[in-house]
Structures are given as structure tokens and as C-alpha cells.
Amino acid sequence: MSRTIQAIYENGLFKRHVAEIGSHWVRNEFNAASGNIVITAKISVVEVLSALNRRQREAALTTTDYQDIAKDFLKVIELEYETIEITDAVLLESKRLLEVYPLRAGDAVQLASAIISQNLLSAKNLSPLTFLASDVRLLNAAQGEGLITDDPQNHP
């Protein structure tokens, strides 16, 4: 059964391209044949490229690997994922979340994007999304906002 997945950079987008705990599960969930729809905040482009660059600086990725993965990621995000723009509504919701939960700025933007996506799905009487994260504070905040959550690290 297909579902909508709200993926944030380290818990899906990154794991699809770099082998980590949960990468196999993520690849299956994000595979076009699964019928799943993947949504992410537009800021994820910067977050994934930042994480890849950090890995390259730490010599965990070669320059060639970095270039290949970055190219593939940019192609996939353009062709396969739905991206949420950073609008005034996302910023306003991010502000509210920061005032309620102990979140980092990027996490608040990601969660705000998920909440707005969930509201749009709900208005169309579509199935709820599943919010992916491995950060306990972020998962707790998402659950506090009534979202269904999952942690890719629970799927080795």
C-alpha cells in the first residue's frame, strides 16, 4: 500500500545515497515502484549537499564519489520528490514550533513543512503522511503535532 513520506535530509534523502543504518529500508520505501510519494522541504537540497561536503572533507567520500552522489541526488530531488517551498506560512509555523519545542532552526522548518503538507493532504481527504526522523526531540515534536512518525534507524 502506497503512502506519503515526509523525509528530512539525514533520515531519508541522505540515506538513499550513502550507506548507513536504515539505508536499505529507505531505498525500498523511496523506490518509485513502491508507489510512495516523497515530500521534503526545499532547504533539504542545501542540507544534503552540506552533509555530503562534510563527508568529503572528513575523507569518508572521495571527490569522485561526492560528485556522483551529488549529481544523482539533485536529479532525484528534481524528478522524483515533491518539494515544499520556504513560504511565509512555513516560516510562521516554524516560529510557532520553536516557541513550543526545543528544536534547531532547520528541524523547525522541516517539521513546519510536514505540518503544512499534512494539512493539505487532510483537506483533500488523503491518507496522512509519515514523518521520518532519527532525532528524538524532532520525533517527539512531530508526535506532539499529531503526525505519524518513523525512524529509519529502526529498520536496519
pLDDT tens sequence across 118-146: 999 999 999 999 999 989 999 999 999 99
107 has a pLDDT exceeding 90: yes
What would the mean pLDDT of 95-119 be, rounded to a whole number? Answer: 96
Q: Quick one: pLDDT at residue 1?
A: 60
Q: What does R_g of the chain's alpha carbons equal in angstroms?
A: 15
Tell whether the torsion through CA atoms of 11, 108, 84 and 145 is positive or negative: positive
What would the mean pLDDT of 63-82 be, rounded to a whole number? Answer: 95
Q: Quick one: pLDDT at residue 120?
A: 94
Q: Quick one: pLDDT at residue 87?
A: 97
- Count of domains in the chain? 1
- Cell numbers 493539505: residue: 120
pLDDT band at 155 (very low <50, low <70, confident <90, very high): very high
Q: Which amino acid is at 113?
A: S
pTM: 0.90
Q: What is the CATH number of the domain that holds 94?
A: 3.40.50.1010
pLDDT, tens digit, for every residue of 8-67? 766 678 888 888 899 999 999 998 888 899 999 999 999 999 999 999 999 999 999 999
Q: Quick one: pLDDT at residue 5?
A: 79
> What is the domain range of residue 88?
4-154
3 has a pLDDT exceeding 90: no
| Cα(103)–Cα(106) distance, integer angstroms | 8
| Distances from the Cα of 5 to the Cα of 27, 58, 61, angstroms | 13, 30, 27
The DSSP 8-state label assigned to residue 128 in this structure reads P
